[in-house]
């Protein structure tokens, strides 16, 4: 083989390499663009494709996503505008990836907690994940308040503990258990390699479990909240519940708290049209008022707003149940 032939082969290989990289980047871009548009328009019925801000932020999001996917950056360290620190890695940390890509995480919930939680309050975070709301609440309730983080998935616990530690919080209590209606042992399933999905009833986990070696089972303790936590009910300000379809059973596990006088708020991730038990319990029996908002946007400047709960809504929402009126400007 002469030098010219060798150089020609190298050139062809280089062109093929560039073409392969271009195809990969293009494929990733299409997937990202499709996903963020689906999520955005699925959750936000007020969105308009003609919105220039939306288009600009979509492009910024896509560039960040490609850089994160193809880059060598492994550790992520995020400091929010509230001077709260979060850390994780690009493989296991869903929270840090969301904060890196979106600059926020469920801003309506974040702003509501900031307006609601005061020094000395108690916040209960059921399905605490990596601590995005637990850490924020720990800052808000101060040293005289308490935060209870309930998180059963083993992969999340080290990240949750680390985020609490780097924010120097001594008022956050972690229980690595599942919340439910009975005290017993249950199974949880999670993807081994990416911490993006969780929960025993997650449909995607069920599908992926058919692939050998991709899903691992964890046996965890399940506890009723009213036997796990012993606090004065008048100190509990907000209970947030996000348990991948188990929200009804979490509420059944604190039913002794719902006797007599109480006024704490609930923020529950749920599909209103499929949550008859929750609607009947909180709206009809206990006379709460319900508000809902689409969850965290992807690639958009979020408008912070809540709208009155539509019990026929068939899209999963974060639903706020409260006995207090929302401030003008938050409620649309």
27 lies in a domain?
yes
Higher pLDDT, 193 or 224: 224
55 lies in a domain?
yes
311 lies in a domain?
yes
CA dist 58 and 18 (Å) reads 25
> Which H/E stretch holds residue 98?
helix 94-102
The CATH number of the domain holding residue 139 is 3.40.50.150
pLDDT tens string 52-92: 666 777 777 777 777 776 665 677 888 888 889 998 877 67
91 lies in a domain?
no
Nearest to 110, CA basis, from 94, 119, 100, 99? 99
Nearest to 207, CA basis, from 187, 191, 218? 191
Q: Are residues 223 and 277 located together in one domain of the fold?
A: yes
Q: What sign results for the dihedral spanned by CA atoms 250, 251, 256, 262?
A: positive
**The residue count for the chain:** 332
Structural domain count, the chain: 2
pLDDT band at 201 (very low <50, low <70, confident <90, very high): very low
Picking from 57, 72, 87, the residue at the C-terminal end of a domain is: 72
What count of Cα atoms within 13 Å lies in the side-chain half-sphere of residue 279?
Answer: 13
pLDDT value, residue 200? 44
Look at 18-22, 265-269, 275-279 and tell me which has the smallest mean pLDDT: 18-22
192 lies in a domain?
yes
- Could you give the dihedral angle defined by the CA atoms of residues 201, 206, 212 and 215, in that order, rounded to the nearest 10 degrees? -30
CA dist 280 and 113 (Å) reads 25
Q: Are residues 118 and 204 located together in one domain of the fold?
A: yes
Domain span including residue 50: 3-72
Q: Are residues 210 and 253 located together in one domain of the fold?
A: yes
332 lies in a domain?
no
What's this model's pTM, rounded to 2 decimal places?
Answer: 0.80
124 lies in a domain?
yes
78 lies in a domain?
no
């Amino acid at each position: 083989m002469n030098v010219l032939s060798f150089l020609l082969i190298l050139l062809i290989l280089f062109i093929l390499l560039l073409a392969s990289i271009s195809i990969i980047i293009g494929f990733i871009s299409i997937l990202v663009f499709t996903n963020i548009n689906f999520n955005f328009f699925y959750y936000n019925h007020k969105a308009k494709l003609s919105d220039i801000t939306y288009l600009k932020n979509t492009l910024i999001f896509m560039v960040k996503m490609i850089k994160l996917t193809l880059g060598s950056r492994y550790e992520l360290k995020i400091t929010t505008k509230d001077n709260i620190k979060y850390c994780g890695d690009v493989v296991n940390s869903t929270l840090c990836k969301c904060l890196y890509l979106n600059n926020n995480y469920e801003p309506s919930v974040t702003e509501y907690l900031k307006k609601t939680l005061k020094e000395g309050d108690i916040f209960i975070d059921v399905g605490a994940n990596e601590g995005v709301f637990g850490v924020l609440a720990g800052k808000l309730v101060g040293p005289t308040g308490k935060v209870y983080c309930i998180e059963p998935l083993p992969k999340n616990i080290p990240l949750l503990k680390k985020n609490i530690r780097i924010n120097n919080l001594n008022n956050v209590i972690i229980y690595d258990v599942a919340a439910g209606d009975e005290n017993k042992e249950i199974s949880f399933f999670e993807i081994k390699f990416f911490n993006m999905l969780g929960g025993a009833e997650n449909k995607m986990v069920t599908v992926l479990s058919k692939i050998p070696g991709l899903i691992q089972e964890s046996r965890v303790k399940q506890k009723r909240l009213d036997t796990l936590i012993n606090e004065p009910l008048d100190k509990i300000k907000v209970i947030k519940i996000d348990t991948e379809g188990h929200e009804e059973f979490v509420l059944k596990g604190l039913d002794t708290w719902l006797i007599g006088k109480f006024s704490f708020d609930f923020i529950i991730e749920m599909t209103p049209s499929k949550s008859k038990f929750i609607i009947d319990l909180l709206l009809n029996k206990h006379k709460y008022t319900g508000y809902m908002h689409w969850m965290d946007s992807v690639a958009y400047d979020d408008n912070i707003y809540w709208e009155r709960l539509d019990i026929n809504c068939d899209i999963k929402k974060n639903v706020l149940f409260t006995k207090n009126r929302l401030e003008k400007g938050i409620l649309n």
